[in-house]
Structure 1
């Protein structure tokens, strides 16, 4: 069973991803600078009510649920079954509806075999894999989870680096989230510096382009797995709060929901659940809370 700090961090990551995803859903596929995301809205590209997450979070919840039912261990066949239940029956969605599924994911789930071609390096495994950062699984396990749908080395390696980076942030975040400030500017500055240093170390583990020397015009926000990983870290590094991070991710355009989902999971870990201004307007929060509570009770305490 996770302790209170780890459970809170898991909640922040899950809600962080779900909110980022839902913010981006109305704008998916829209070119950069043709819109401006400021707040949670509905309709748009997929004509969904405000606060509705997409395939990104539904598959992430399937991952979380499988890990919980297997006491924090990876069972690839079980996990694949959860993804199929989502694709066919709308499991892990707010209202039983599937409105977005990637080509590689669709083919892989229909055939029962992950796709390993050069053109099969979309972000469809990266977007769902954050729960593995909260359990003691190996790099081979991470690769196997990616390979359920995305089996090419580029995708599987990106997932490994992402999980290692997320684990560093999970380990470091209690140091600043638990800090109390008495209003002294030096205290606040120290917390910010420690946070920034941890994010820089995580960026180095992720092995994506240096966000400190990359301008917004150079940040790619397509569905390519390395583009999403790089964009997520750029957003995390160039902003200083959860809301700005996910808004920046959406406003990069193109694959808005996935970029914001991946950035949102990281920003949730960094800034905590209470820093997320949209948790109260999300749909399906009963499902989110139930699966988070289930996982927190099932995951071994050794992951702390």
Structure 2
């Protein structure tokens, strides 16, 4: 088969163009560490990469929400711990108040301290979280959990349960707890319990009976706070598990993404060297070919 002059030149030029383009592409992949997957170069991988990107973006939002919820729950637990400390002191004072040997001044002093404890718990009940600035123990609405009424009583100002924070598709967790489940339950109103005993001590009327009622109420309140802390702890553990699961999924997803999108540098460098070697040989051959005269070629 006779080879035309044009074929002798066209084929090497075409091969050099192809090799140059391949070398340029590989160099870009090495420099950017990305394979540059497009809908044209690899449709299936491109679609999968888009899905991974959307999932990663969604998980970033959920991860942020989990961090917020963990922070709020941690603060709620610390605040409830402070409430327990105040109640323990109130229990000690109520036990002392039941002692008939106390003087009027002693009872008055205990009454004053109980009043201060009540105010401290009121302040704790109105604690706002450090992250969102929302009441730790509020309801679904309202900027304040508890208010003092004109008669001196303290009542819950919110309505409903605190809103949940989305932590996964179709899953949310309440990062705080309604004060109605902690401070003013159906079984015990710790503000009224402590306040009634404080008033009785200050007035000196029927102190022993008031102390007995307070002891029962404070113990009930301590149990209620313990249950609230257990609930907060359970939700915290659930968030820890959810965070760990999300991390594992993210790692698996990253392996899949890297396999489709990232450049295998050692392999790419080897391929580049091979391509450049072939390109150099082709250029050398083409140079010799173009320097030959038609006469020498036909000889």
TM range (shorter): under 0.3
Name the one with the larger strand percent: 2
**Greater Rg by CA:** 2
- Greater relative contact order (Cα < 8 A, sep 6+): 1
Q: What TM-score results when the alignment is normalised by the length of structure 2? A: 0.26
TM-score by length of 1: 0.26
